[in-house]
Structure 1
Amino acid sequence: MHEQGLGGPQNLAEAFSWYRKAAENGFGPAQFALARMYSLGLGTAGNDSEAAKWLQSAAAQGLAEAQYALGAFYNSGFGVPLNRTEAEKWFRRSAERGSPAGQNDLGFMYEIGRGVEKSLEKAAKWYRRGALQGNAYAQANLGVLYDTGRGVPQDHAEAAKWYRLAAEQGEHFAQTNLGVLYDKGRGVTQNSAEAARWYKEAARQGNAKAQTNLGLLYESGRGVPLDYGEAAKFYNQAARNGNANAQLLLAVLYENGRGIPQDYAIAAEWYLLAASQGQFAAQTNLGVMYEKGLGVTRDYGEAAKWYRRAAAQGDPIAQNDLGALYEKGWGVAQDYAEAKALYSQAATKGYAVAQFNLGVLNATGKGTTQDFTAAARWYRRAAEQRLANAQHNLAVLHERGEGVPQSYREAVIWYHRAAAQNFVHSQFRLAALYESGRGVPQELNEAAKWYSRAAEQGDATAQFKLGALYGSGRGVPKDLVAAATWYSRAAEQGEVSAQYLLGLMYANGQGVPTNNVNAYLWLALATEQGMQVGARDRDKVAAKMSPGDLSAAKKLVREWQVKHR
């Protein structure tokens, strides 16, 4: 009454005094109550040793609560030396007397083999006993065994049943795990909104996994409105709770500026925290930051260090990226054989970029004997995963008949697939095959279409070819203005044939106003690049020019060469 304040003001010191008198007279419940007051420092100074002494007395009288508490003291080393065997003994005694908490903790000792020989079957038995008495922890733990199929047949529906019972009592691990089952549709009908509901319940209690998973739902818009800001909020909560996956995901949002302002430095900090916990994707991404100098000072050695750590965990992206450093000799001694070994590890796991890189080494004979057949094999594997540069290189091998039977038709197929992904080199080659009618019927309008797409992406040769089609009216209506425009774009990039023809157009006033200064400029530049016929036409233009114009034209030539040096 004094402890609870029943019948008068609460007086813990008075309660302690009466408990002690009763305890000294051997009354078990009073001994347990006295132990609790010593443990919590209620009505007296806290004293775990005294608490343990009175728990011993109460436990010896068969009081299940005291037996459980004494087991907990031995399990944690409070007031007594840490002793798992003694902990198991008292947990067992309390469990056999029907303590659901004792049954749960005894089950846990069997699950992990602490103080007893590990036995998942016995763990399940004791969890079940506690769960049937309504112990939320036992219900959650039994759910985990059914979820994972350890000690019992795997049964996600049974797992969901036990998780739900615990979750409804507010047990946050069970709430999280029930959310996962709804998220994935295991043992229950898939329901992202229901997953979000349970994640929110657990997240409010600070469960980092639930906070992370809830962030994922907001990032993907599953079960909740798409909201990168909310995703960042929950990732941040979990990240500050030390969850490595959340630290990674938060870093990705900072790197890409989704839901939060883009900040490479903060991204690198979160990658580092996650990477230091062994999160392999964070290690890889941190390596990328060091390789590119994003948010950190560029440091290929640091990049190699983090790639190496992730690669050791089997991450194919890190294996590939570390291989690339060895191929280039960045941050490590150049070693084509090591590059090949790392590419091979990633390639055999199906990573398309590594398959492409391995194909390149085989095609070039770096770190291995040149082998176009092997190159084609690896290019094909990557190409079938829609990697555009692999599709292009496979097409090149088919066009040349290297490592595969020569086939323009096959080349067209693979060029087309890469070109459809906007791969500029394939767009150009596809246009060339349509122009020549190799592998496909000659279709100049198709050639013009693909030259145009490559030209718009800045490919100088495609710009020249498109200009030539406009100049001749092949595949497109003849349009000298358009021809001059495309020649000009190509010429500015140093395309020698475009420079020569643009010079002639300025000399003759075709598609552009006659301008001998510009004509001289482009003809002279073409000549400097080795087009001998350009010298003749340059000199013809020069003969028509005044000394002042000729001097101005020569100055333009020098300025262009300096600018494009």
Structure 2
Amino acid sequence: MYKMGMIQLKGLLGLPKNPGEAVGWLKRAAQAADAENPHALHELGLLYEAPQGDSSIIRDEGYSFSLFQQAADLGYKFSQFRLGCAFEYGLFNCPIDARQSIMWYSRAAAQEEHQSELALSGWYLTGSDGVLQQSDAEAYLWARKAGMAGLAKAEYAMGYFTEVGIGSPANLEDAKRWYWRAAAQNFPKARERLEDLKKGGGKANLKARERISRSKVGKQNEGECSVM
């Protein structure tokens, strides 16, 4: 049922895209969801979060959140990341709650969900009173883990950390290597920083600490809310 829903949703096997028909299949699959098969819950959550102009699907953030919650409770790391975002930024009409955000990011990061690793880096970079002690060392380690996995924004963050000396000694040549890795994935800020350095630009702005690995959540693809 889940596979049929995704075929209809994505227009696979030569079939036209049919989100309305896909919803029916995905809902049937979601009713049978378990720890081995949580995917339909998550895909439905994405559809009701952002229907993408399909008139047969009405945006419903409350329903979307409940679907992500169910999938997250079943251990699905991408839904756990969505909940981390929700409680960090107040999405889906959720209250901003650092403790809940960090908990869900931690659960997803334990399954090597790389955007969650970077999100934890952001939390450690700033800390949260009464919840998480600020730690440049932990911020560096979590960003490095995500960067080593090839997450472009994490590679850029590592370039910044290494350039200004957050969590490790400052090393401009190492920083450039990280920026190059991110730029190779068309990460605009990495390209801009390399151009600045090529022109003899000054040291990166230390005031940008918080923005480096914690910033506005953008459009989501493949179960992950992208962090711009």
State the alpha-carbon separation in 1 of the partners of residues 120 and 78 from structure 2.
Answer: 14
C-alpha distance 509-396 of structure 1, shift in aligned 2 (>3 A): closer
Q: Deviations over 1:485-509 (max 9, x none)?
A: 1112112222222223223434449
- Corresponding residue for 2:39? 353
State the alpha-carbon separation in 2 of the partners of residues 430 and 417 from structure 1.
Answer: 11
Query: Is 1:328 aligned to 2:10, yes or no?
Result: yes
Query: Is 1:497 aligned to 2:189, yes or no?
Result: yes
> Pairwise mapping of residues 294-305 of structure 1 onto structure 2 (< 5 A)?
none
- Corresponding residue for 1:343? 26
Aligned-pair identity (%): 29
**3-state SS of paired residue (2:91):** coil
Could you tell me which runs of 5 or more consecutive residues in structure 1 were left unpaired when the two chains were aligned.
1-318, 511-565
Is this contact kept in 2: 1:373–1:402, CA < 8 A? no
- Corresponding residue for 2:58? 369
Q: Deviations over 1:170-217 (max 9, x none)?
A: xxxxxxxxxxxxxxxxxxxxxxxxxxxxxxxxxxxxxxxxxxxxxxxx
Task: Select the residue among 146, 156, 179 that pairs with 1:487.
Answer: 179
- Report the alpha carbon displacement of residue 456 of structure 1 after superposing the two structures with TM: 0.8
Query: Is 1:467 aligned to 2:159, yes or no?
Result: yes
- Corresponding residue for 2:119? 429
Quick check: which one's helix share is greater?
1
- Corresponding residue for 1:408? 98
State the alpha-carbon separation in 2 of the partners of residues 500 and 406 from structure 1.
Answer: 32
> Pairwise mapping of residues 183-202 of structure 1 onto structure 2 (< 5 A)?
none
Query: Is 1:382 aligned to 2:65, yes or no?
Result: no
State the alpha-carbon separation in 2 of the partners of residues 340 and 400 from structure 1.
Answer: 28
Q: Deviations over 1:38-65 (max 9, x none)?
A: xxxxxxxxxxxxxxxxxxxxxxxxxxxx
Alignment: residue pair count: 192
State the alpha-carbon separation in 1 of the partners of residues 195 and 11 from structure 2.
Answer: 44
Give TM-score, length-normalised by structure 2. Answer: 0.76
State the alpha-carbon separation in 1 of the partners of residues 57 and 4 from structure 2.
Answer: 18
> Pairwise mapping of residues 43-192 of structure 1 onto structure 2 (< 5 A)?
none
State the alpha-carbon separation in 2 of the partners of residues 361 and 496 from structure 1.
Answer: 28
Amino acid at match of 2:32: K
Could you tell me which runs of 5 or more consecutive residues in structure 2 were left unpaired when the two chains were aligned.
203-228
Amino acid at match of 1:483: A
- Report the alpha carbon displacement of residue 345 of structure 1 after superposing the two structures with TM: 0.7
**3-state SS of paired residue (1:458):** coil
- Report the alpha carbon displacement of residue 384 of structure 1 after superposing the two structures with TM: 1.7
Structure with greater Cα Rg: 1
- Corresponding residue for 2:81? 392
Give TM-score, length-normalised by structure 1. Answer: 0.32
